Structures are given as structure tokens and as C-alpha cells.
């Protein structure tokens, strides 16, 4: 069975300075994907619908930027997919389009449908090309620049490598476009809160995400055991180098081993609507590794407002995500457990049957 690689290509990689699509670049990326397909099952997440739409219309009088973006995307998506399909057809590869929203991930039935459809396409050697369904996405829940969409899709499909292709070589100590002293970080072992702060304001011009969203995507992927590479689409053979783990960009090491989760487990750890966070101590972490339930004695902190049966994240004291589960108690009850010196013995906070760990 071939390993799975998901490649996400950003708008800046596909566009020229004159605002049009860069057809040579798309052809080159397709050529590389064709070679990668000899050793990997490849999934492509591509932005660029809005950019492609601008080749036809500008909507200069449209006041609402969201409506403008949605109209441009609805014009450009067909064009973008057609360009990819034409280049893939030169290699006799059949393409399939999937337009997804964050709501589709939160809904368990949609999640199941997306997963089975995409897996079916891969098994039949079809090339899936994914983008956000910009026309139906709400402003608040939009994926923006597709990094999160790529990481979620990757975790859902249990991929082996995530490649985020950008217009910047990799992850720097500062924004290299503004700070000449910025240094490229070749390898990131762990995405710490300090690292997230480091790149908080580095939104790439014209795009909607920048390095912060790449870091968050890499965080989700590496916690699911998926190594992640951020590299430049302008570098020759960038995809082939990434596929051989020889990229000159940044490599994010997986934090956990890759795990084969059930459909419910994979939905719970990636997409279910999380209402809060429960932090646990080392003893509880050890118990969870042995597939035991989470007991009140091991809980050290709680965040958010939730009721019993809500979905919560479980973090260790370093803030690393360990898993997800359905809580037996509300946040206020758990807060009492945390405060009292004599912790109640044997009280189950999350039962092992409703708990999905990432290690
Ligand atoms: N879904 C958007 C598009 O295809 C992504 C825009 C972006 O990269 O920020 O245009």
C-alpha cells in the first residue's frame, strides 16, 4: 500500500504579479505530482479560485469584501479546476473536485461521507483536488487560506506527510519580508506557545493566513503523528524534494506516533465542536496511555464553559494535546475537583469508551 501525501498550494504560488494565474507553475506542479504518484497516493488542496476569478471580473463597485471574494471564487473555481484537469489529462490522470467547509467537518455524517468518497477516489487512482467551498462558507468559520483545511483533511485521511507550499522558503525567526535578520528554522521539534507568538503578526500580503496558520496546521498534523513540511513553490522540484524529505524548507517533527483511529475517533480528535479543555497530570497521562479512564484525581485545570456529554480537549501540563473525549461533568463541577485538597477517589471524568487519545 502506497503512503499518502497531501500537498496544499497557496494562492501566492499560483498567481503572477499581474494578478493572473501562473500556468507554467501549475503545469510544473502537476508534472511533479505525476512523479510523486509513483510512490505516494497524492491529495491536492489548492487555493487560487479567487485569483482565477479576477481574470474574468473585478467587481470594483462591490462594497462587501466577503461577497466580492465569494463571487470571484464562484467564477474562478471552475476555471482553476479546469486548468488542473487539463494538465493532469495530458498524463491520462482523472481528476475529482471536492469543495468543503468547516461545517462539513463538524458534522459527523458529512465527515464520514467526505472520508469515504476521498478514500474511494484514491483507491481508484483518481486525483482529488480540494478547495474550500467559498460560496457557502461563513466569514467566522471560513478556513481562510486552506492550511487548516489541509491539516484536517490530512488527519481525516490518516496521511503520512503534509506539505504546505507557500511563497516563502520556510518558517523563519521573523517575517523575512520585513526583517533582514530573520533566520530560517530548518527543523521544529515542538510547536510551543512561544513559537506561536513569534509569528502571530506575519500575515502574508494578499493571502488570508501567513505563517501563523501554517504553524497551527502543522500543530494539528504533528499531534496526529503526521510530519509536516513548509516549503516554497518557487523552488525547483519543491514537491519532489519534500516527498524525499529533502526539502530546504522547514520540517515539523511529529509529536505523537501515527495512530489508526476509528471513524468516530478520527472525527472526535479532528473536527468535533470542542467546548473546553481539561488539563491533566503525569499520572493521568500514564493511565490514559494504558487505555484507562480519566479520573478526577488526575485533573489539574479546566478551561471553557461546558456541560456533561460535551466534547472537550485533554491537554497535559505542557499544553500538548493528548486527546479528546466526552466529559461526564460540567466545567464548574470539574473546577471544584481541581480546587479541593482531598480529591474524590474513583470519580470518572471521561470514561475510556468516550476517550480518544493521540499517543
Ligand atoms: N479558497 C480561497 C481561494 O481559492 C483561498 C484564498 C487564500 O489562499 O487565501 O481563493
Average pLDDT, the chain: 92
Are both 176 and 212 inside the same structural domain? Answer: yes
List, as one string, the DSSP characters of 202-225: -PPTTSS--HHHHHHHHHHHHHTT
Report the alpha-carbon distance of residue 22 to residue 58 in Å, rounded: 18
Are both 201 and 84 inside the same structural domain? Answer: yes
Q: What are the angstrom distances between the C-alpha of 325 and each of 234, 278, 280?
A: 42, 10, 13
Encode pLDDT of 28-86 as tens digits. Answer: 999 999 999 999 999 999 999 999 999 999 999 999 999 999 999 999 999 999 999 99
Are both 35 and 162 inside the same structural domain? Answer: yes
Asked whether 228 lines ligand 1 (CB < 6 A), one says: no
Supply 70's cell numbers. Answer: 465569494
Atom of ligand 1 nearest to the CA of 53: 10
Phi-psi group of 324: left, alpha or beta (phi > 0 → left; psi -120 to 50 → alpha; rest → beta): beta
Asked whether 130 lines ligand 1 (CB < 6 A), one says: no
Under 8 Å between Cβ of 21 and 14: yes
Q: Does some domain include residue 131?
A: yes
> What pTM did the predictor assign?
0.93
Are both 149 and 291 inside the same structural domain? Answer: no
Q: Does some domain include residue 248?
A: yes
Are both 131 and 181 inside the same structural domain? Answer: yes
Return the CATH number at 147: 3.40.1160.10
Where would I find the H helices in the chain?
A: 11-14, 23-36, 49-53, 65-89, 102-106, 108-123, 147-156, 193-198, 211-223, 238-243, 263-270, 282-289, 331-339
pLDDT at res. 201: 53
Question: Once rounded to an integer, what is the mean pLDDT over residues 89-114?
Answer: 97
Atom of ligand 1 nearest to the CA of 73: 10
Burial grade of 25 (CB within 10 A; 0-12, 13-18, 19 or more): middle
pLDDT band at 208 (very low <50, low <70, confident <90, very high): very low
Query: Ligand 1 mean position to 70 CA, how many Å?
Result: 10
Question: Once rounded to an integer, what is the mean pLDDT over residues 14-38?
Answer: 95
Higher pLDDT, 200 or 81: 81
Q: Does some domain include residue 343?
A: yes
Query: Whole domain around residue 87: which residue ranges?
Result: 3-252
Asked whether 148 lines ligand 1 (CB < 6 A), one says: no
Q: Give how many domains the chain has, as a whole number.
A: 2
Q: Is the dihedral of CA 69, 85, 33, 128 positive or negative?
A: positive
Encode pLDDT of 155-188 as tens digits. Answer: 999 999 999 999 889 988 877 877 888 899 999 9
Roughly how many angstroms between the first and final C-alpha of the chain, as a whole number?
23
Asked whether 14 lines ligand 1 (CB < 6 A), one says: no
Query: Ligand 1 mean position to 32 CA, how many Å?
Result: 22
Amino acid at each position: 500500500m502506497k503512503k499518502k501525501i497531501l500537498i496544499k498550494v497557496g494562492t501566492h504560488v499560483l498567481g503572477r504579479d499581474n494578478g493572473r494565474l501562473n500556468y507554467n507553475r501549475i503545469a510544473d506542479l502537476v508534472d511533479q505530482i505525476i512523479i510523486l504518484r509513483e510512490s505516494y497516493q497524492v491529495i491536492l488542496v489548492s487555493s487560487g479560485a479567487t485569483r482565477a476569478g479576477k481574470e474574468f471580473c473585478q467587481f470594483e463597485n462591490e462594497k462587501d469584501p466577503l461577497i466580492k471574494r465569494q463571487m470571484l471564487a464562484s467564477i474562478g473555481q471552475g476555471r482553476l479546476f479546469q486548468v488542473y484537469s487539463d494538465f493532469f489529462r495530458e498524463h491520462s490522470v482523472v481528476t475529482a473536485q471536492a469543495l468543503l467547509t468547516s461545517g462539513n467537518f463538524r458534522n459527523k455524517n458529512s465527515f464520514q461521507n467526505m472520508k469515504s468518497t476521498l478514500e474511494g477516489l484514491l483507491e481508484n487512482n483518481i486525483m482529488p483536488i480540494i478547495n474550500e467551498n467559498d460560496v457557502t462558507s461563513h466569514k467566522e468559520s471560513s478556513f481562510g487560506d486552506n492550511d487548516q483545511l489541509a491539516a484536517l483533511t490530512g488527519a481525516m485521511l490518516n496521511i503520512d506527510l503534509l506539505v504546505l507550499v507557500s511563497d516563502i522558503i520556510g518558517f523563519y525567526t521573523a517575517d523575512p519580508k520585513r526583517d533582514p535578520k530573520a533566520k530560517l528554522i530548518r527543523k521544529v521539534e515542538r510547536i510551543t506557545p512561544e513559537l506561536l507568538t513569534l509569528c502571530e503578526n506575519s500575515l502574508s500580503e494578499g493571502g488570508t493566513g501567513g505563517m501563523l496558520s501554517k504553524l497551527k496546521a502543522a500543530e494539528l498534523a504533528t499531534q496526529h503523528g503526521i510530519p509536516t513540511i513548509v516549503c516554497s513553490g518557487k523552488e525547483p522540484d519543491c514537491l519532489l524534494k519534500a516527498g524525499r524529505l529533502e526539502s530546504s524548507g522547514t520540517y515539523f517533527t511529529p509529536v505523537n506516533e501515527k495512530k489508526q483511529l476509528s471513524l468516530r475517533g478520527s472525527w472526535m480528535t479532528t473536527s468535533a465542536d470542542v467546548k473546553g479543555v481539561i488539563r491533566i497530570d503525569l499520572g493521568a497521562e500514564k493511565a490514559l496511555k494504558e487505555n484507562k479512564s480519566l479520573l478526577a484525581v488526575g485533573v489539574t485545570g479546566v478551561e471553557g464553559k461546558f456541560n456533561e456529554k460535551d466534547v472537550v480537549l485533554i491537554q497535559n501540563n505542557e499544553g500538548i494535546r493528548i486527546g479528546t473525549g466526552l466529559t461526564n461533568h460540567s466545567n464548574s463541577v470539574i473546577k471544584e475537583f481541581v480546587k479541593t485538597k482531598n480529591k474524590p477517589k474513583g470519580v470518572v471524568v471521561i470514561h475510556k469508551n468516550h476517550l480518544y487519545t493521540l499517543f
